[in-house]
Every structure is written in structure tokens, then in C-alpha cells.
Amino acid sequence: MRGRVVDVRFWTPGASEAVEGIPARPVGGASEGVFAVPSAEKLREFLDANHVAYEVLSHPVAFTAQEVAAVQHVRGQELAKVVVVRGGGRFLMFVLPATYHVDLPKARTATGTSDLELAHETEFAALFPDCEPGAMPPFGNLYGVPVWVDEALTRDEQIVFNACTHTQAIRMKYVDFARLVRPIVASLRLGL
């Protein structure tokens, strides 16, 4: 990229230069040209506009839900992980406790989608242009993706989840999350 002009778009209002330590990534899957710096600004603006109390938690780089739970010192049961699936010609966002895996046969039955499969990050990354790959918050409604929540998560008073990067998370009350997202609740996890 040396010697080339790159159009950098920042998702934080008023930003005029790259944020050190946060990697920019191509917008819309392009390999060069327009880059975006991941930011939770869209999410924070949504929470603020809806008068929701929340806490932004910074932490060392963590890529898996269990790693985030460990560095945030929260039970894996309280950490809401996002799993994106595809079927019936669309993507769905599943949200479940970090300690569980999606039970695809159970999820197919719950959603009524017989061809439901786990989606690969390369398939859905463009849906979340302001997020680092794998760091999507459970607010699919902000991205036009229907949200399904495993019923186990509904029992938690608070949830913690990725905030668009692998170095920030947000803690908020589950009831506020449910009020804003209006997810479909079902049993989606293995083991029950």
C-alpha cells in the first residue's frame, strides 16, 4: 500500500485519523481502497438514545467467547456469544451463553428452517462493517439480521458481550437487551 492514497472512514463521529492499535479493515470485503476502523459507536448511540444503562469494558485482545469471559472475570453463562447461521436464503443471529454450542437439529426445528447451517465469517462479515470479524454484538436488529436467543440467557440479570472489537465488551441488563432487540427465545443449545 506504500505510495497509495487510501480513503479511511471512521465510524466514530469527529475522528480524523486512525486510532492507534486498532486495525482498519476493508469495507464490504474489498481488498483495497476504502477501510473502516471498527467501532461500537453505532451501538452506544442506540443504547444512549434508548436511555439504557451500560458499562463499556476494555480488556486485552480476546478472540473466543470463553477468552472474553476469562479476561472480564465473568461466568461463561453470563457472556452472550453470537453465532451466525444461514438457511432459507437468509442469515440469522443466535445468541447463547459462551459455555454452550448450537444444537443445529434443535435450531432447525425451532426456526422451521431445514437447511440451517453455521455460516462462515467470510459469508457474513460484510453485514457487520463496523465490527472486527467475530466481534459482533448481539444486536442483529441494528444490521437487519433477525435475532434468536437461547432461553438459558434469559435467566441472567446482566449479560456481557463483544462491542464490535476484540478489546471491548459491554455489560448491561438482560431485560434492557430484550426490550431493545425483541429476540425470539428458544432452546438452541446442545446438552438439554
Q: What's residue 182's pLDDT? A: 95
Query: Any idea what the CATH number is for the domain that residue 177 is in?
Result: 3.90.960.10
Evaluate whether 168 touches 132 at the Cβ level (below 8 Å): no
Q: What is the rounded CA–CA span in Å between residue 111 and residue 117?
A: 12
Q: What's residue 94's pLDDT? A: 97
Q: Mean pLDDT by 10-residue block, N- to C-terminus, for the chain (192 residues)?
A: 28 32 38 46 89 84 69 71 95 94 96 96 90 91 94 93 86 95 95 64
The answer to whether residue 6 sits within a structural domain is no
Give tens-digit pLDDT for 98-116. 889 999 999 999 999 999 9
C-alpha cell at 85: 447461521
Q: Which amino acid is at 119?
A: A
The answer to whether residue 102 sits within a structural domain is yes
The answer to whether residue 107 sits within a structural domain is yes
The answer to whether residue 21 sits within a structural domain is no
Q: What's residue 100's pLDDT? A: 92
Cα-based distances in Å from 38 to 12, 82, 120, 130: 9, 17, 19, 5
Q: What's residue 95's pLDDT? A: 97
The answer to whether residue 20 sits within a structural domain is no
Q: What's residue 116's pLDDT? A: 96
The answer to whether residue 113 sits within a structural domain is yes
To which residue does cell 476504502 refer? Answer: 34
pTM of the model: 0.76
In this structure, the number of other CB atoms found within 10 A of the CB of residue 7 comes to: 8
Domain boundaries, position 68: 38-186
Total domain count, the chain: 1
Q: What's residue 148's pLDDT? A: 97
C-alpha cell at 123: 459469508
Residue (of 111, 119, 99, 78) closest to 187 by Cα position? 111
Q: What's residue 71's pLDDT? A: 66
Q: What's residue 69's pLDDT? A: 65
Question: CA torsion, points 53, 72, 40, 86, in degrees to nearest 10?
Answer: -110
Q: What is the rounded CA–CA span in Å between residue 79 and residue 75?
A: 7
